[in-house]
């Protein structure tokens, strides 16, 4: 597979386990992806990455000393063109959220197949979110839930009473989307969107959509 003009996707791997590095190296060999650097620690990565400037950086979370999430937090501002993807045995929501908060563009578990790894690297390079659909659904759910809790902790208690789906609809309303556009984004019918909007207006005790959207933006 070509990545445009014959240029291969340049990948750097940070993992302290030689067997993992060997497996990733083998998975990438013979493809349109080139492994240009390896590091066993965050400290080694700090030295190598700025000069290598990889397109995609695969990073384990559990590293000796500075962990992978801290590495991404420090390096991502210095390498804005690099896409950082966690490659880890962890499947915890806490690690997932923390990694994405600190600049990761994906979250892969080490039980994925070589073919899935290749697809994920290509996707990350193209700007896609490099993670399974199940992981992406968990990420969205946790982020929406976190927003809801922040509303509860704030002054606007009505926002805290909304369901996750109602909050999603309200967020899109605040962004100026029409009912049809919201339906397409959430893969639900326009009629269902209208039902959710009606519920949102009732729970927030507001007269119209504009007022609800304004309250949402103020709370954020």
Q: Which residue has the tokens 């962990």?
A: 67
Whether the Cβ atoms of residue 90 and residue 59 lie closer than 8 Å to each other = no
pLDDT per residue rounded down to tens, the chain (220 residues): 444 456 899 999 999 999 999 999 999 987 899 999 999 999 999 999 999 999 999 999 999 999 999 999 999 999 999 999 999 998 778 888 888 888 898 999 999 999 999 999 999 999 888 888 777 777 766 666 666 555 555 545 677 778 878 888 998 898 888 999 898 888 889 999 999 999 999 988 889 999 998 888 877 6
pLDDT value of position 156: 57
pLDDT value of position 134: 78
CB burial class (10 A; 0-12, 13-18, 19+) of residue 199?
A: middle
Whether the Cβ atoms of residue 14 and residue 45 lie closer than 8 Å to each other = yes
- What φ, ψ does residue 112 adopt, rounded to 5°? -75, 160
Assign 10 to helix, strand or coil. Answer: strand
pLDDT value of position 151: 54
pTM score of the predicted model: 0.63
Q: Find the distance separating the first CA and the last CA of the chain, reported in whole Å.
A: 44
pLDDT value of position 122: 94
Characterize the bridge pairing of strands 9-14 and 106-109.
unpaired
**Cα 145 to Cα 126: distance, rounded to the nearest angstrom:** 29
User: Does the domain formed by 137-219 have CATH 1.10.10.10?
Assistant: yes
- Residue intervals of the chain classified under CATH 3.40.50.2300 are 9-131
- Residue intervals of the chain classified under CATH 1.10.10.10 are 137-219
CB burial class (10 A; 0-12, 13-18, 19+) of residue 133?
A: exposed
Instruction: Provide the H-helix boundaries in 37-132.
Output: 42-52, 68-75, 93-101, 114-126
In CATH, which superfamily holds the domain spanning 9-131? Response regulator (3.40.50.2300)
Cβ atoms within 10 Å of 152's Cβ, excluding its own: 12
């Amino acid at each position: 597979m070509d990545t445009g003009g014959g240029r291969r996707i340049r990948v750097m791997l940070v993992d302290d386990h030689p067997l993992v590095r060997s497996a990733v190296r083998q998975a990438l060999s013979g493809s349109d992806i080139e492994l240009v650097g390896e590091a066993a620690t965050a400290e080694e990565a700090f030295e190598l990455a700025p000069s290598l400037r990889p397109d995609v950086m695969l990073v384990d979370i559990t590293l000796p000393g500075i962990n992978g999430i801290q590495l991404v937090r420090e390096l991502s501002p210095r390498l804005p063109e690099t896409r950082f993807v966690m490659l880890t045995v962890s499947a915890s929501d806490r690690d997932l959220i923390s990694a994405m908060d600190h600049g990761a563009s994906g979250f892969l578990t080490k039980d994925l197949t070589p073919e899935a790894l290749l697809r994920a690297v290509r996707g990350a390079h193209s700007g896609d979110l490099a993670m399974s659909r199940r992981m992406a659904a968990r990420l969205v759910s946790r982020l929406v839930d976190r927003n809801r809790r922040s509303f509860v902790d704030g002054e606007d208690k009505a926002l805290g009473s909304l369901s996750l789906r109602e909050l999603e609809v309200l967020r899109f309303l605040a962004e100026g989307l029409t009912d049809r556009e919201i339906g397409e984004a959430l893969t639900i019918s326009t009629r269902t969107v209208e039902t959710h909007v009606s519920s949102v207006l009732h729970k927030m005790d507001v007269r119209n959509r504009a007022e609800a959207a304004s309250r949402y933006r103020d709370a954020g």
